[in-house]
Amino acid sequence: MKPRTVVIGLLAAACSIGAVGIGFTLASHATYASPGNNSNRAVELTSDLSNSNTADDSSSIDFALPSGLTFAGIENLSVDYIFTHNSCAGISPRFQIHVVTPANATVTAFVFIGPPPSYAGCPGNVWTNTGNLAAPASFIDTSQLPGGVFSDTFQAAALKYAAYPVTGIELIADNGIFFTDKIQTVVVDNVAINDTTYTFESGDKEDCKNGGWKNFTSPPGPFKNQGDCVSYFASGGRNQGDGH
């Protein structure tokens, strides 16, 4: 199957929690960030537990999946990332793979970003690629699944859970509590799930709708409202947002 690259354009679905692009949704406190890794835009995931506001405790990107995907069909997971505040720790950030067991229970397997077995101490302020985290020898936490273990390998997991339907995949940061100031911030770009790469590039006024204008916290935003955002894209960038 020929790999394809997904850029933001049309709305995948109406959603109240953030901007929606083709095949993914920004959830919780996730926002667009600029620049990306040799590109115009990426996504910032922040976990801020330094305040009483629970809305920014975690951030995630939820990815749409092709119908009929099973666990055995997950052959590639990777992401470019750069920590702009603190580092990886407390098994965060991570991919979360939601599957349905034969007992019809929805459970989650976890794929952690960072060096095993602690998944801590990722380099700061430098773009890094994870490589294929779904390679046969790569680790996956299947402890929520029947017969699973914390340090399973994808090869072993694929044998045990091959036919389990996959209902969702998300990339999440949620463990700011592991740091002295209780904040963890990572910017991610070029998320690859099998043969699809999500680049988060912008270029359409549809990104402004359903609250999406609020996610432009860096250039070309911030915008004062949806109309301000729409005007920017409709004018080809001539009408700048309030942040310019």
Instruction: Tell which residue, 72, 77, 62, 79, has the closest CA to residue 134.
Output: 77
**In this prediction, what percent of the chain has a pLDDT beyond 90?**
67
pLDDT attached to residue 2: 46
The DSSP code for 164 is: P
Distance CA(60)–CA(45), nearest Å, equals 6
In whole angstroms, what is the distance from residue 161 CA to residue 148 CA?
Answer: 10
Query: Does the domain at residues 4-202 carry the CATH identifier 1.10.10?
Result: no
* Residue extents of the structural domains in the chain: 4-202
Convert the pLDDT of each residue in 94-151 to its tens digit. Answer: 999 999 999 999 999 999 999 999 999 999 999 999 999 999 999 999 999 999 999 9
End-to-end CA gap in the chain: 43
pTM: 0.80
The token pair at 40 is 């115009």
Torsion (CA) 164, 165, 167, 171 in degrees, nearest 10: 50
Q: Up-side HSE of residue 1: CA atoms within 13 Å toward CB?
A: 10
Interval 187-227: pLDDT, tens? 999 999 999 999 988 656 777 877 778 777 766 778 889 89
DSSP code per residue over 59-90 = EEEEEP--TT-BGGG---EEEEEEEEES--BT
